[in-house]
Structure 1
């Protein structure tokens, strides 16, 4: 499942070139680029290598608005608002011949927001995202993490995840339309809890700007996602691994 975003790369290059001026208006964030291995598509039993890109919000200062403690700052305990972002790779019959007869799906970008409840050594969160490309459905994730900081260079988190999707999302990735010329029987996929699993991630801070980041996740598809003929032809078990380099930017304007 390939994930590629020209916009993210452009933002990375632009941020590298912009000078920093000491002003009261600023935007702090991090961009990550690296490699990943993931299923070719939701429900596939084949793994492919691809590009991993990520964005982390740090803080925003604008007039009377002052949100966040920065990418490298430890979040305040309590409830906070955060952005939500996910990229889902394209799905094509050219890359996966077993899907011949099903409509190809473009790279999907999901944007949204979430709420986080933070304590010193653990956090819980929920987020909602809307597909702006690839699909127009609504998805979400509920999760929690144990947070371990053995020293000032390492940050390790691990915890469970439950992923949700509405009827539009489920139909796009797990449904088979009536009259399809594919080898799958017709299937009307509906939304709900579509997957659950666990994610472990680690960050090693090289200096005050650069860091190495890695992650491993396992998800077991549930409900109509697990019962889809696409998944029955593949696997309910979905493994993903990533490794990348991130850089912190502070834009002043």
Structure 2
């Protein structure tokens, strides 16, 4: 009899920032960190959970920063989308090294390196227990990878979005700067927007609210944290209606 705990969700979206892949470096990819995240994903995959992923590109290029430095915003955003494809390929390589079949699905057509986004095909990959990494955001400038994650989670009928961060939930103020910061167990979408709690951008929160899609904010730096929450344990904040 297996001692693997039963997961509380059947299909989830894992959203992580590009910065999560750079470890203690100030830029780029840190292979040991990428491999550690891949092991975290594998531990949840081994529970039978169907996993979608969206990874940011801020460790390589961030569109808003490029725009702030004088680059045309649309061009800068497309460069940021390409950065997410690079990160997706890195995570795909790490997952496949762990024996997990993975597909990188890009919102921008680049057939030589990734599949184009076709909803029914992506759903079929999930049903076959392949991890689907959605890259290149929504394929449109002015939209963040937070919005892309919420959009794809809605399209894939995910039961929750798991937002991996540096801290173990949503706080009323920055817990790194303020020792008296208090963590929310649960918080409403409207409070996240009204109090500007910084969980995700406003478009992503509004889309999650409109589709009644809960957001679980947890620490990606906590070993076993992703699996623990899927097993009904651990520390996190749940954003819901």
Give the shorter-chain TM-score range: under 0.3
Q: TM-score, normalised by structure 2?
A: 0.28
- Bigger proportion of residues as strand: 1
- Bigger proportion of residues as helix: 2
